[in-house]
Amino acid sequence: MGVGGGPAGLCYAGAEDSNLSWRRGSLAVAQRLRSSARDPSGPSAVAMERYAGGYEEAADGARQQERHYQLLSALQGLVKELPSSFQQRLSHTTLSDLALVLIDGTVFEIVQGLLEIQHLTEKSLYNQRLKLQSEHRVLKQTLLNKHKEAQQACRPHNLPILRAAQQREQEAVEHRIREEQRMMDEKIVLELDQKVVDQQSTLEKAGVTGFYVTTNPQELTLQMNLLELIRKLQQRGYQPGKPFP
């Protein structure tokens, strides 16, 4: 056996080592597969999650596209109710951009909030003006009563002097009333103008097409028409995530 058995023995040992290595490798692969099946974060689970995520994104994209088409069609129908001069300025691109920002409903909420603030402001200013007018009526009536009492207590020969003084006093009061009314009206105009600026700025930041801070009458009219379109859509029952009525 001596010399001849040496190599034979080495060859046999090598085959046994090779077989053992193969078995160990197989066990390792099987172990990894079992581990992957038990572990939800394994390669197979990750692949499935990615597939599901891609499917959801595609479905969301399709829904968004459908909502965009519905809103655009509704806007195009509403535009036909406007004067022809304004219809020309509301191009397909403008309406498409407007429909895009309306999809998730956020702009509807913003517009509703702005309108509520505007109504509260107008009501407050109106009440302030009514209060001022009431104060002026009381002031004029008080002055009239005062003048009558003074004339009744005045001696006849002093009446011309008294009436002249009362006339001057009445003119001064009327001037004061006119100035206070003018100042109130200016205050109302300034506050309403500021509300317009606030609305323009807020809607511009929200990405609503056509809105930016401007005092140009034509641009203001366009913005008013855009707001009217948004308001009518809301009145007709638009709700995000539901079919358009």
Note the pLDDT tens digit of each residue in 199-213. 999 999 999 999 999
Q: Is the Cβ–Cβ distance between 136 and 180 less than 8 Å?
A: yes
What is the DSSP-derived secondary structure letter of residue 1? -
Low-confidence stretches of the chain (pLDDT < 70) are 1-60, 239-245
d(CA 101, CA 208): 6
d(CA 143, CA 39): 92
The confidence score (pLDDT) of residue 146 equals 96
d(CA 215, CA 189): 13
The confidence score (pLDDT) of residue 219 equals 94
d(CA 79, CA 86): 8
Share above pLDDT 70 across residues of the chain, in percent, rounded to a whole number: 73
- 215 phi/psi in degrees, rounded to 5: -115, 5
d(CA 112, CA 207): 16
The confidence score (pLDDT) of residue 89 equals 86
Q: Is the Cβ–Cβ distance between 75 and 94 less than 8 Å?
A: no
Count other C-beta atoms under 10 Å from residue 227's C-beta: 18
The confidence score (pLDDT) of residue 49 equals 60
